[in-house]
Amino acid sequence: MASATATAARQRRIIIDPITRLEGHGKIDIILDEEGRVERAYFQVPELRGFEKFAQGRPAESMPQITSRICGVCPTAHHMASTKALDRLYQVEPPPAARKIRELVYSTFMVEDHTLHFYFLGGPDFIVGPEAPAAQRNVLGVIAKVGIETGQKVIAMRRKLRELISLAAGKTVHPVFGLPGGVAKPLTAEDAAQFRHVAAEAVEFAQFTRGVFEKVVLKDQEYMDLIRSDLFTHRTYYMGMVDGQNRLNFYDGDLRVVAPDGHEWARFDAADYAEYIAEHAEPWSYMKFCHLKALGWQGFKEGAESGVYGVAPLARLNAADGIATPQAQEAYLHFFGVLGKPAHHTLANHWARVIELLYAAERMKELADDPDIIDPEVRNLPTATPREGVGVVEAPRGTLFHHYQSDGRGLITKCNLIVATQHNAARISMAIDQAARGLVSATHVNEGLLNMVEMAFRAYDPCLGCATHSLPGSMPLLVRVCDDRGNVLTSLRRDADGGIHRD
């Protein structure tokens, strides 16, 4: 290996690479100037699968199952967005029971997925702590911190929730219950009883989780300062789904965009998304960057003039005026009481996620208790000629659009998918660029910095599987400092569990 001093004068570059040789995920490329200061940091997504292309010619009714294969982590989100797109495509409304079963399953999924991220992916950063030794900064470290029985509690909770999804949707990974105008089968009284039982546990569990978060984060001044620090603050627009009273909703409603100052900038039906959202392509990434159409693409800038906006938990809370369930509403008020509204602090996403976890659990319980849920009428057969439909849900990681056009036989002729990480892509790039500029230089590369960059990134729980319609999941990273011949000067790895190691 070439020595650092020998090449110190040379122009350098840092590649933060999520080990593409392994997973082919996202990739960060930092260009340094002559003095070794960061000149530009690129966030690249190196893969593309073309679901939108090979969707063409497929029967519309197969889309909920085909598109769920975009991501095995959040298949239910794609399945549901797709199913809702089919309702519109075939111009048919599901019967009340079917609508409720869908939202029940969806809420169950939100509880399960947010749990996964809180304990397995994001957790290590703040429960174990950013400064803790890398070896501990993983799920095992989390369990060590919160206790083994809690660890088992988490595992058991996930299992129960996922079994419920199978019960109603056939399968958990890649469900099969969504049909235009309804769901494949009604819930029996026994099924509903199980849902009620687990829902009650889920609410408790959510409150428990909230307790954990408040104990280890809110009471930790250092951590709160980090959350508030400018390094992790971007004043952008936010988008999220809201119900009739502008309250948070994951399954259905209008989309609401609030400006950096918090005022409602737009409120629209999913079908009109193309009038509000545009996609911008860069030559150095397969991922397209969403922005607000009216404001146009101003580059990676924040502020009211830039079209850059964010989605995901923090954005959702910013975009909503409240939450429909009591316990979550109370947590919502506390959240903005502390951070002010709108909250621009990227790391607050973790807190917002816990509040959403609580809401999802409460909503799950409401629906499980609803007597209509076992009504056998769960199908309305489509009669209209299929044409075009847009379906939207709030996926765990943010707003998810499925937009289909079909011929008269319901064979897909055009398919457009916009996933959470695409909405967030610009904001993520900015976060990385900002973190890099603030922290990195040729002579100054260490775990701490790396994990800082990491955290800006991870707060979004970005799913590049969805983003590229190709690969899922969490974000292992590799940072290498090389000279311009590509000789590695320094190399640090960070894996999906949060462990960071210098090679």
Considering only residues 379 through 398, tell me which ones interact with other proteins, judged by CB under 8 A: 379, 381-382
191 near other proteins (CB under 8 A): no
Draw the binding track, 471-490, toward other proteins (x: CB under 8 A; -: no contact).
xxxx-x-------x------
State in angstroms the smallest separation of the CB of 8 from other proteins. 18
C-alpha span between 86 and 501 (Å, rounded): 47
Whether residue 345 contacts residue 225, with contact meaning beta carbons closer than 8 Å, is answered with no
Nearer to other proteins, 139 or 435 (CB): 139
- At closest approach, how far in Å is the CB of 406 from other proteins? 11
Q: Which of 84, 345, 397, 493 binds other proteins (CB under 8 A)?
A: 493
Report in angstroms the alpha-carbon separations of 347 from 193, 323, 375.
38, 21, 43
Cα–Cα dist 395/392, whole Å: 9
Q: How far is the CB of 305 from other proteins (least distance, A)?
A: 22
Q: Which is nearer to other proteins, 100 or 158 (CB)?
A: 158
Residues whose CB falls within 8 Å of the CB of residue 190, separated by 6 or more in sequence, listed in order? none
- Closest approach of other proteins to the CB of residue 233, in Å: 27
Least distance (Å) from other proteins to the CB of residue 476? 6
Smallest distance, other proteins to C-beta of residue 278, A: 11
CB 45 within 8 A of CB 59: no
On the CB side of 226, CA atoms within 13 Å amount to 23
Outline where 289-348 has alpha helix (H).
313-319, 326-339
Candidates 2, 274, 324, 411: give the one binding other proteins (CB under 8 A): 411
CA 18 to chain centroid, in Å, comes to 18
Q: Does 301 bind other proteins (CB under 8 A)?
A: no
Contact 401, 270 (CB under 8 A): yes
With CB under 8 A as the contact rule, the residue among 6, 8, 193, 281 that binds other proteins is 281
Cβ closest to other proteins, residue 249 vs residue 468:
468
> What is the number of alpha carbons within 13 Å of residue 391 lying toward its C-beta?
31
* Number of amino acids touching other proteins (CB under 8 A): 90
Q: In this complex, which beta carbon is closest to other proteins, that of residue 265 or of residue 297?
A: 297
Options 2, 4, 62, 235; binder of other proteins; rule CB under 8 A? 62
Determine how many CB atoms are found less than 10 A away from the CB of residue 299.
Answer: 12
The residues pairing with 119 across neighbouring beta strands, listed in sequence order, are none
- Please identify which residue in 8, 9, 53, 147 interacts with other proteins, judged by CB under 8 A: 53
Residue 201, interface with other proteins (CB under 8 A)? no
Q: Which residue has the tokens 């990385």?
A: 432
156 touches other proteins (CB under 8 A): yes
Q: How many angstroms from the chain centroid is the CA of residue 433?
A: 20
Q: Shortest approach of other proteins to residue 348 CB, angstroms?
A: 26
Nearer to other proteins, 2 or 31 (CB): 31
Min. distance of Cβ 227 from other proteins in angstroms? 27
Min dist. Cβ of residue 209 to other proteins (A): 18
Confirm if 431 and 301 have CB atoms less than 8 A apart: no
Note whether 170 binds other proteins by CB under 8 A.
yes
- What is the torsion angle, in degrees rounded to the nearest 10, for the CA atoms of residue 89, residue 95, residue 101 and residue 106? 30
Minimum distance between the CB of residue 291 and other proteins, rounded to whole angstroms?
Answer: 14
User: Does 23 help bind other proteins (rule: CB under 8 A)?
Assistant: yes
Decide whether 158 or 353 has the Cβ nearer to other proteins. Answer: 158
| Residue 235 sits in the site that holds other proteins (CB under 8 A) | no
Which stretch in 94-102, 176-184, 220-228, 433-441 sits in contact with other proteins by CB under 8 A? Answer: 176-184
In angstroms, the CA 104 to CA 261 distance is 34
- Should residue 61 be labelled a site residue for other proteins when binding is judged by CB under 8 A? yes
Q: Which residues pair with 248 in a beta bridge?
A: 242
- For other proteins, the closer of residues 174 and 256 by Cβ is 174
Long-range contact pairs involving 288-291 (C-beta distance under 8 Å, separation at least 24): 288/422, 288/425, 289/422, 289/425, 289/426, 289/429, 290/418, 290/422, 290/423, 290/425, 290/426, 291/426
